[in-house]
Structures are given as C-alpha cells and as structure tokens.
Amino acid sequence: MTAPLPNPCIIATRESRLALWQAEHVRDLLGARHGLAVELLGMTTRGDQILDRALSKVGGKGLFVKELEVALEEDRAHLAVHSLKDVPMVLPDGFVLAAVLEREDPRDAWVSPRHADIASLPQGARVGTSSLRRVVQLKALRPDLDVQPLRGNLDTRLRKLDEGQYDGIVLAAAGLKRLGLGERIRCVIDPGVMLPAAGQGALGIEVRQDATALRALVAQHIDVGTWLSVHAERAVSRALGGSCSMPLAAFAQWDGDELVIEARLGHPLDASRPIVRALARAQVLRTLDATQDAEALGLEVVAQLRAGGGDDLLAALPEA
C-alpha cells in the first residue's frame, strides 16, 4: 500500500526568521520541481518559549521539534523542516528523516563590531554564547575570556551584541548567511579552531514513516555527500548519549573519496579542563547504501574519544 501524496502538502515550521526561511526554501524546492501545492503551518515550540535559561540546563531532547511531530501525527501537517543540529539523535517511533539537503557553511562565525577575530581580543573580553561546545573551545583557546550566556533567535542575539552587552558573539555561519546577514560575520572560524556541532548547517526533512509517496518524493532531494557526513557526525553524538548538556563537537568532511571525521569532547561542568580529541578517516562510497559505513566511521572516533579520556568526562555528566 502506498499512501498518496497529500495535496496541499503542509510544512510544519517554527516561526523564527531562520526557521521560516528554511521552510520556505523547502516549499519552493518542492513546488518548483514537482508542481506540488505546498503551504506552511507556523508553530511555537518549547525551545522557543524558554529564553531565560541555557537549554543545556533545561534538558530534554527535541525541544525544537516535538510540537512539529505532534502536528504530523495529527495530520495537521505532512513535513517538518529542521536545522539538523536541533534534531534528536533518535527520532520517535513512526518518524523518519526523509532527506538531508545540501549543507550551507558548517562553520561557526565570529561576530563583533570592534574586534576582527578572537585572537586579537583584549584580555578578559566578554564573549556571548550559551553553547557548551563553544564555551569549552573558546576557553581552550583563550582561558582569559569572560564567556557569558546568550540566548534567543538570531535577531535577538545580534540585538544584544549591538546593545553592547558583549565584545563579540559566536554564531553558526549558516544561519547568518541564509538570512542575508553574512556581512555581520567578521571571520568564519576554522573548524580546526572551533569544531562545529553534529549536523550544523544542514537541513533535515522529517516525515511520518507511513507517508511512503511523500518520503520517496522528498528523498529525491537528498544531497548524498551531506547525508553521509551528517550521519557520521550524528552517530558520534548518539553513541555518547546525544545530550546538549555535553560539550561535544563532531564534524565530517570529504577529502576526495575519503570521509574524514573529527570529534571533540569537553568536561560538562568545568570548561577549563582539557578537551579530548579524535580523528578517523576511511574511503566511503558516495551512495545512500554507504550510510552504515559512515556511521561506523563515527563510532571509530567514539572509541578513540572514550579511550583517550572521554569515559571520565562522560562519567562527570550529571544525571538527566
């Protein structure tokens, strides 16, 4: 039995400017290529409502996706478009990642009115980010920095910077570029300096497992290179518990026909502790059938991380 294509096809999306851009991007893609009538259903998620605390302290997985999944479950929508970085490593029963689109710039970006880069910041400068991954890497680079929490959507974060609350902030380059805010970037940060989060810069399209025709249609838009990279990265995060209370970075990129993945793990409570690093590479065929090979490569860096001190860092993780 093949479930027919929904008409119109409704995309559930968060209502931040970036989320809407992403949903509109998918709407235009499906509309142009398949002549499908596509509409958006804007929704607010728990992650959007919690603005006062770091999400790493709130805990709970899928804060930005759960409400969208409920809309799919109740047939109020058919597709959910997400920043892959925000998608839990294990989807609930009945849902699948039907596609991952071509990746935008996966790197982090330095945004500051007065300071060209992190290295040239004065002693004790105030830097805004609430991501534990960014905090531990900033502290490794510049232990003197005064790293302060920064939450909210992109516009809110930029406004807080412009109000003078920080000397500079770190944001994903992808979000800024997608919203036409690329000129706010003073420099993109080399992944060797600040390793990105699993899935950063990639868009994921989630559908119900039983939506067979829609799955097949959406799957035509998979970017295979990105798909394999992010599956390697997500395998790392999944194996380590997939928690945003863990300062974990995982980034895979292609070097010819080899997939190269690096991962870093910091201490969950003490950003001044050393970061554990690991790297693995292997030839991987660029086909969807190689997804397990990409994931196996991810597990190779997990084994290295654990053996290299990562087990102790994981043991320091407070119980969720």
**Residues tagged active-site:** 86
Minimum separation from the CB atom of position 55 to ligand PBG (A): 8
Whole-number Å distance between alpha carbons of 164 and 177 = 23
Positive or negative torsion for Cα 264, 268, 271, 276: negative
Interface pick for ligand PBG out of 62, 88, 168, 175 (rule CB under 6 A): 175
Q: Quick check: 200 binds ligand PBG (CB under 6 A)?
A: yes
Question: x/- string (CB under 6 A) for ligand PBG, residues 201-240?
Answer: x---------------------------------------
Which residue in the set 172, 189, 214, 235 belongs to the binding site for ligand PBG (CB under 6 A)? 172
Q: How far apart are CA 274 and CA 51, in angstroms?
A: 30
Minimum distance of ligand PBG from residue 126's CB (angstroms): 18
Q: Are 111 and 168 a contacting pair, CB within 8 Å?
A: yes
Q: How far is the CB of 109 from ligand PBG (least distance, A)?
A: 8
Minimum distance from CB of 315 to ligand PBG (Å)? 26
195 contacts ligand PBG (rule: CB under 6 A): no
Which is nearer to ligand PBG, 54 or 296 (by Cβ)?
54
Least Å distance, CB 22 to ligand PBG, is 8
Q: Map residues 251-280 to x or -, x wherever contact with ligand PBG holds by CB under 6 A.
A: ------------------------------
| Window 76-95: residues binding ligand PBG (CB under 6 A) | 83, 85-86
Stretch 27-66 residues interacting with ligand PBG (CB under 6 A): none
Question: Around Cβ 183, how many Cβ atoms within 10 Å?
Answer: 7
Nearest residue (CB) to ligand PBG, 17 versus 126? 17
Backbone angles phi, psi at 141, to 5 degrees: -75, -45
Residues at the interface with ligand PBG (CB under 6 A) = 83, 85-86, 171-172, 174-175, 200-201
